[in-house]
Amino acid sequence: MNPSPEPLHAATRRPRRASILDVAALAGVSASTVSRSLRGHASISAATRQRVVEAARELSYSASPQASGLASGRTHTIGIVVPFVTRWFFVNVVAGAYEVLHEAGYDVLLYHLGTADARDRFFERMPLARRVDAVLTLTLPLTEEHTLALRALDMPLVTLGATLPGVGCVRIDDRAASRTAVHHLLHQGHEDIVMIAGVEDEREFGFASSRQRRAGYREAMESAGLDAKADIVSAETYGLEGGAEAMGVLMDRPMLPTAVVTEYDELAIGALRTLRRASIAVPGRLSVVGVDDHEMASVVDLTTVAQPVQEQGAVAARLLLEALGDTDGSAPGEVVLPTRLVVRGSTGTPFTRTP
């Protein structure tokens, strides 16, 4: 009887690709030594490096990101935790961070929280372990439990906009930004200045920037002797609609102020929409100034205090890379980036009321 024919797949089976473990076995070293040798690490002797290189050449080995991760314990992935991934500020911060991290050979794993409850569930599960090499959190006000959960990961951590003791941070001076907006109006002669602020809900995220900008407004009014006139109207919803509705509330009052400063530009843009639909002249009857320099600010001719949004993300990414040892130099614990006043057509001298 003829022998059984050879299975078809045996003739076409591809040879197994050599792994980092095969190179380590042939060279008589560990996988991590192979990884360090092939990356030219200074801690590896010339003789060991030569032995590894010869073994790799003999096996036709080429390193893969997965193999490098196995040897080094690195995932080459950075986790970015974002409260609202679709909002203008966070989109631009992530873009700035991603560009730097991608250039350095890292992937980004994005975690979108959306609500305070989702934030709490995230920190209870803590899905970052063994998935990322470092973490960037964006403007998240963290409880002691949240902070302990992050520290327990024992990996580099940088925050953006919210400070934590002993943790690298990138931010602007939100109080100063708000004071700059108010001082601009004061220098034009305004005294009756109302602030439109964001949604006031400490049960949700309660962003530190919101509290700081409100405080900056009050400080500027008080320093001008106008603390009795300080008036803050909180929006009921986020963004353009919140600003439009808050301006509607102001218009229902017996007397409009001569100027409005908003916590962020989207509130100001919404307020301008309400004013223009009501044929209220800006700045002839009412001046409006925001904070951010949103991409639409120039379109609606909005005076604003500009902050470098993408640069904050880029600087935060560099701090993480420095903490990971992928760049030279030591990172400062906190980086405060400057803001600047951008004067456009939404502010002018105050409206003069006739007796």
SS3 letters for 67-134? HHHHHHCCCCEEEEEECCCCCHHHHHHHHHHHHHHHHCCCEEEEEECCCHHHHHHHHHHCCCCCCCCE
Is 206 inside a domain boundary? yes
- 259 and 222 inside one domain: yes
What is the maximum span of the chain, computed from C-alpha positions, in angstroms?
Answer: 120
Per-residue confidence at 296, pLDDT binned at 50, 70, 90?
very high
Is 143 inside a domain boundary? yes
Task: Answer yes or no: pTM beyond 0.75.
Answer: yes
Q: What is the dihedral of CA 159, 164, 167, 171, to 10 degrees?
A: 40
- Closest C-alpha among 324, 267, 327 to residue 300: 267
Q: Which amino acid is at 26?
A: L
Is 62 inside a domain boundary? yes
- 127 and 190 inside one domain: no
77-82 sheet: strands from edge to edge: 107-112, 77-82, 134-138, 157-160, 168-172, 334-337
- 249 and 239 inside one domain: yes
Is 355 inside a domain boundary? no
The answer on pLDDT for 219 being more than 80 is yes
The answer on pLDDT for 161 being more than 70 is yes
Asked which of 72, 88, 107 is the last residue of a domain, the reply is 72
Q: Which amino acid is at 164?
A: L
Q: What is the mean pLDDT of the chain?
A: 86
- 68 and 90 inside one domain: no
- 178 and 303 inside one domain: yes
The answer on pLDDT for 99 being more than 70 is yes
- 211 and 294 inside one domain: yes
Per-residue confidence at 261, pLDDT binned at 50, 70, 90?
very high
Share of the chain above pLDDT 70, in %: 86
Indicate the burial class of 224 (C-beta count within 10 angstroms; 0-12, 13-18, 19 or more).
Answer: middle
The answer on pLDDT for 71 being more than 60 is no
Total domains in the chain come to 3
- 293 and 189 inside one domain: yes
CATH of the domain at 320: 3.40.50.2300
Domain boundaries, position 62: 17-72
Secondary structure (3-state) at 171:
strand
- 53 and 162 inside one domain: no
Query: What pLDDT does 70 receive?
Result: 46
Compute the distance between CA of residue 307 and CA of residue 88 in angstroms, rounded to an integer: 13
- 213 and 302 inside one domain: yes
